[in-house]
Amino acid sequence: MKAAAPVPVSRARRRIAFAVSLFGELLITAGVVLGLFVAYSLWWTNVIANQEAARDSDAVRESWAAQPEDEEGDDTTPPAEFDPEDGVGFLHAPTMTGSEILVKEGTQPDTLNGGVAGYYNDPVESAMPWDEEGNFSIAAHRDGHGAKFHNIQRMEEGDPIVFETKNTWYVYRVYAVLPETSKYNIEVLDPIPEESGATEAGRYITLTTCTPVYTSRHRYIVWGELERTEHINAQRTPPEELRAAD
């Protein structure tokens, strides 16, 4: 019995097979590129930012060490060489992170991308910790570029927030948390942040970052109020809230 001749593959079918194969290869390539971009955004930018922040932090501490001791612990009259773009002090929030966070002036990407936090000067001008009243309002990234506020959701009412300057420990206590609000809600930065429940002038601190994680659709807010200050001694002994967290 004579075998049937093979049915020839039409030119159209060969074109379809080639197109499907090419499309599959493009999908694989796109997946690889996307994976590399995610790795860059969520890992490599952290590496670079943390290295930059470490250098800047060392420079601030070296600058403090080179300045004469101030027995009065007065932060209201910084030395002539002081530049808030270099860093005004260090934020310690042991519930959120075990490492200190350098705080600089401004909240623009060119500042925050350096693995630091920044205090607001726009659209609301932040008070400083040493001011007699006001709201010391700070922002930092939650993912990528150091992700200093990545675990902000761990913070709860009663947790300590400590800000360190050359002369003074400013010890705040968390009293309110807002897990989600509009990124256009600037009232959370008011000198008296009424949305937190505050009703009178005081010395507040506000931490802000993006939420949900890996997006920038909304903002996560933590408010604290100054509990006390401590003069920093020659050994720079931290307050008990930080010693207990070690």
Active site (catalytic) residues = 210
In this structure, how many other beta carbons lie within 10 angstroms of the beta carbon of residue 93? 30
Maximum pairwise Cα distance, the chain: 111
Identify whether the C-beta of residue 193 lies closer than 8 Å to the C-beta of residue 174: no
> Please, how many CA atoms are within 13 Å of residue 232, restricted to the half-sphere of its CB?
21
- Residue 127 CA from chain centroid, whole number: 19
CA dist 217 → 181, 197, 211, 220, 236 (Å) = 9, 24, 7, 10, 40
